[in-house]
Amino acid sequence: MNDSFIDVDFAQRSKHTQHVSGDVFVTRKIKEETRTLSVLSDGLGSGVKASVLANMTAAMAIKYTSAFVDVRKSAKTIMDTLPICEVRKISYSTFTIADLDDDDGTARFIEHGNPPLVLFRGPEELPLEKASIQLAEWKDRVISYAETQLQLGDRVLFFSDGISQSGMEQRNMPMGWGRAAAKAYASEAIRQTPDIASRQLAAMLVDRAHTNDLRKAKDDITCGVIYYRRPRRLLVISGPPFSKERDAELATLVQTYAGKKAICGGTTATIVSRLLQREVHMNIMDMEQFDPEVPPTSSMEGVDLITEGTLTLAKIAEMLERHVRPAPPRLNAAARLVQLMQASDVVDFVVGTRINDAHQDPNLPVELDLRRNIIRKIANLLEKIYLKNTSIQFL
């Protein structure tokens, strides 16, 4: 069981009046190598042209870094590919690359043109020793390279100049907010909420920069955060085991699992209830706020959520595919479980394979065919879209 996880996320806002951001943030997990790659690229200017160049830069950076191509060679290829601004004589895109090993915390950083990244241990900044790399063909441009060992709890903060230069020409910040002020703001947020998630911290920085610009962003604003920490785990049990002799395994899992727990399916909940001698209670509030698409939830001591089975799971797959991020006030059973999944780093599925005769009716929707196929789809969506680690065990 891996006891570390890389929580990486970002927040972004396009320049005022622009519908497309000229900043690009891309993350790719290479599961078989336990690596997480993140790239922030800032295209010169704004709008579609900047977006195209930033996307091109990010794609090349991910490709070469994932293949362990030498820093000099990959940087040169990117520089050679990107055009040069005729007026300002600078590259049409800047970039920051982070390459982290999920297992041991080894981290490599490559930077060109963006505000320097910040490494936090708790709320305090850690100095990061960087080597300057100059390319023979591009003597006027410097690449910074650093390698370090992260500890659990460390964070990496990096952002485009839309944050550091936000508020420029305002009376209280004529030269812009600045990297130091942005760093101090992030430090205080971590001090107040030590376990703040990457998505939340990034959103706070972007919102503050947007406020500095009087809610009319003068440039594309992007902030990425990497948080190396212990994983937040979620167990999802659905379906009775193929053999009744293995029912006790479900109860043992509910008792011993180190994380949040959800049960999908009335039969499964009944098995756990009987073996642990804990009552299942229907949630009255769910009954009062009846949702015709999703059956109501139930509750049991020691379990965070109990839902109906395949109908709810099919709805969850649909929500994840549509990138839905549920929010109050209306949270049905599917939305609540989606929230739990999105708030977790590792989702462990335990799927019973006993056939439920009710689902063999040919008049039922196709998505109710087999529970295990729906869960395979959910696990795939969680990994590909939400960068979660998942496992599936069939009983």
pLDDT at 108 over 70: yes
Check residue 370 and give its pLDDT. Answer: 67
Q: Residue 67: pLDDT band by 50, 70, 90 thresholds?
A: confident
3-state secondary structure the chain: CCCCEEEEEEEEECCCCCCCCCEEEEEEEEHHHCEEEEEEEEECCCHHHHHHHHHHHHHHHHHHHHCCCCHHHHHHHHHHHCCECCCCCCECEEEEEEEEECCCCEEEEEEECCCCCEEEECCEEECCCCEEEEECCEEEEEEEEEEEECCCCEEEEEECHHHHCCCCCECCECCCCCHHHHHHHHHHHHHHCCCCCHHHHHHHHHHHHHHHCCCCCCCCEEEEEEEEECCCEEEEEECCCCCHHHHHHHHHHHHHCCCEEEEECHHHHHHHHHHHCCCCEECHHHHHCCCCCCCCCEEECCEEEEECCHHHHHHHHHHHHCCCCCCCCCCCHHHHHHHHHHCCCEEEEEECCCCCHHHHCCCCCHHHCCHHHHHHHHHHHHHHCCCCEEEEEEC
Nearest in space to 52 (alpha carbons), one of 88, 85, 13, 22: 22
For the record, the structure tokens of 301 come out as 């001591």
CA distances from 195 to 4, 228, 231, 377, 379 (A): 14, 11, 12, 30, 25
CB 12 within 8 A of CB 222: yes
Give residue-wise pLDDT tens across range 302-322.
999 999 998 999 999 999 999
> Is the per-residue pLDDT at 140 higher than 70?
no
- Average pLDDT over all residues of the chain: 88
Residue at token pair 């500890």: 151
pLDDT at position 376 is 95
Strand arrangement, sheet containing 131-135: 23-30, 35-43, 93-101, 106-112, 138-149, 131-135
Task: Read off the pLDDT band of 334 (50, 70, 90).
Answer: very high
Q: What is the mean pLDDT of residues 347-370?
A: 64
Identify the pLDDT of residue 331.
Answer: 85
* Cα–Cα distance, 280 to 301 (Å, whole number): 8
Which pTM does this prediction carry?
0.82
User: Within 13 Å and on the Cβ side, how many CA atoms surround 105?
Assistant: 15
Model confidence at 220, in pLDDT bands (50, 70, 90)? Answer: very high
* Separation of alpha carbons 7 and 5, rounded Å: 6
pLDDT reported for residue 21: 95
Cβ(395)–Cβ(246) below 8 Å? yes
Average pLDDT over residues 384-395: 91
Digit-coded pLDDT (tens) for 149-186: 999 999 999 999 999 999 998 888 999 999 999 999 99
pLDDT of residue 79: 74
* Cβ(313)–Cβ(264) below 8 Å: yes
